[in-house]
A and B are shown apart, each in its own frame.
Chain A
Amino acid sequence: MSDRISAADVAKVARLSRLDVTSEEIDRMTVQLDGMLEHFADIDALDLAAVEPMTQPYPLVNVFRADVPQPCLDREEVLAAAPAAEDGRFRVPPTVGYEP
């Protein structure tokens, strides 16, 4: 369907993104992403060999503060916002060992 990005690429990207997608969504996204990549080709002709990448607009330096205890977020309040909590912790489904 496309030279730039295939349905298989899109399915892989969805997996990397932790997004469940239907085959209909994959087809639609493939067309849309392909259209975008086509536009992005406008920078292909630029000679960028000697150009430094710019990740931040303002020069960043490490920020240190004195190692003094500060008040932190209230644990009960934080856990109250979680979908599931138990014994003062976030509760999640099994992370390993689950065999469907």
Chain B
Amino acid sequence: MSAPGTSAITAAEVAQSVRNGATTAAAVLEAHLATIAAREPDIHAFNLVTADRARERAAHIDDQVAKGIDPGPLAGVTVALKDNMCTHGVPTTCSSKILEGWVPPYDATVVSVLQAAGAVVVGKTNLDEFAMGSSTENSAFGPTRNPHDTSRVPGGSSGGSAAAVAAGFSQFSLGSDTGGSIRQPAALCGVVGVKPTYGYVSRYGLVAFASSLDQIGPFTNTVADSALVLDVIGGHDPLDSTSIPKAHPSLVSVLDQGVEGLRVGRITDLPAGADPDVQERLEAAFDALQSAGATIVDVQVPAFTFGLTAYYLIAPAEASSNLARYDGVRYGLRVDAPDTNAMYGATRAAGFGDEVKRRIMLGTYALSAGYYDAYYGKALKVRRLIHDDFQRAYQHADVLLTPTSPSVAFPFGSKGDNPFAMYLCDTYTIPTNLAGHPGMSVPYGTGADGLPVGVQVLAGTLQEPTMFRVAAALERSLGDSK
């Protein structure tokens, strides 16, 4: 089951070995840099590999260990960051020409927290421009290729982060998920990917796409590693006014609790569209959970099917507002013009790619006078319906199980010129973002052409502990069948 290039040891094991002196952060890092040197030219997971900085950090951690100081729960563990998270002194581009070369004057909270826990940042990963896309084909710097088959996409928008973990370039990575941008690439690359409850992880320093939907989460090789990372990065941050003002219970501590007595919901009115090979793996997952002691129950989420429409009105509306800041004044690209209005129009035309322009225009339209009630206002009401339908389902089920992606990884260019064909990739992931609930993708065997298939576990607000118990049980069931 292991992905190509994946090291057999987990982040938890690396941290333990570095802390007790069995290995060094430098040795761990050099092994990953060697893998990057060998395979990155084929994969293009990174916009930037920060080898020198990483070597300094690793040396610092080894120095701490030598002095008897504990570097933290992620001591010497390598991490790749989606290139929409601000890193002080290291360029942050969002894979857009409009931010090419921009060097942030501060760190995102997740970056400071990871470093304080001993993690070593190896680089910034490629994404669909401003996280808008499901294949990483929209990057201004060229696509990332799927480590399982380089003729196929890794998914998106966090395709670089998913590919980095799948290819063994880093022990884990961080992505952001607005409508499925962690879970869908995790499924396509055969790794674990988690979108936590909205507000679980600070968004301070995450370049905003759609602020009421964006959430940061991990990509890892194992469910336990995702729990470990979330235990480190989760929690309240005074710098993010939407961060939930309370501490989260440990996820690592619930992994062995099993699923005896849990109710696992099957959504009987889920929109059609999943390929038979994906559906087959979902059925296998239901069977495995039942064998492990869970009860399978039927539930309905009637408004699920309206998720795409609500999302593609709300997310572009928020994006059109958030991306107004790229105006050639304070950072990034400027195209000179005789007055400011002409400068804005020329700068934004030159700096943004087609998909970003399309969403800015769609969002501006949905918010404009005469159309606000018909589009944006209506979408907000549909969002409420989706949220309430999920809440009703969670009265009968502790978690819900769905496909993550309708298909395995698809070939480059296969969605053609029709933007909506690409949007359909997120059919099963989007409603969760609208509701603000957590969801995660767990690799669950292979489908067509031997490519990875992910199963999605969904839960209600702050029900991460239950979601992780189910994910851990799924992972164990795969081990049993090997």
Interface SS of B by simple majority? helix
- In the assembled complex, the CB of A61 is this many whole angstroms from the nearest CB of chain B, namely 9
- In the assembled complex, the CB of A60 is this many whole angstroms from the nearest CB of chain B, namely 7
A51, B340: Cβ atoms under 8 Å? Answer: no
A58, B384: Cβ atoms under 8 Å? Answer: no
Distance in angstroms between the alpha carbons of A80 and B310 in the assembled complex: 40
Pick from B329, B336, B346, B361: contact of A14, CB under 8 Å: B361
Distance in angstroms between the alpha carbons of A16 and B372 in the assembled complex: 14
Complex contacts, A36 vs chain B, CB 8 Å: 312, 362, 419-420
Pick from B198, B349, B368: contact of A57, CB under 8 Å: B198
In the complex, A100 has a CB within 8 A of chain B: yes
Taking A33-B362, A81-B103, A83-B329 as contacts, is the C-beta distance between A43 and B349 under 8 angstroms?
Answer: no
B341, A33: Cβ atoms under 8 Å? Answer: no
B352, A19: Cβ atoms under 8 Å? Answer: yes
Q: How many A-B residue pairs have CB under 8 A?
A: 159
A43, B378: Cβ atoms under 8 Å? Answer: yes
In the complex, B133 has a CB within 8 A of chain A: no
A93, B361: Cβ atoms under 8 Å? Answer: no
Complex contacts, A13 vs chain B, CB 8 Å: 361, 364-365, 368
Interface SS of A by simple majority? loop
Taking A17-B360, A46-B306, A94-B339 as contacts, is the C-beta distance between A51 and B332 under 8 angstroms?
Answer: no
Where the two chains meet, the residues of B that have a C-beta atom closer than 8 Å to any C-beta of A are 102-106, 198-199, 212, 238, 241-242, 244, 305-306, 308-310, 312-313, 320, 324, 327-334, 336-346, 348-349, 352, 357-358, 360-362, 364-365, 368, 375, 377-385, 387, 418-420, 434-437, 461
Where the two chains meet, the residues of A that have a C-beta atom closer than 8 Å to any C-beta of B are 5, 9-10, 13-14, 16-21, 25, 29, 32-33, 35-36, 39-40, 42-43, 46, 48, 51-58, 60, 63, 65, 73-74, 77-78, 80-84, 90, 92-95, 98, 100
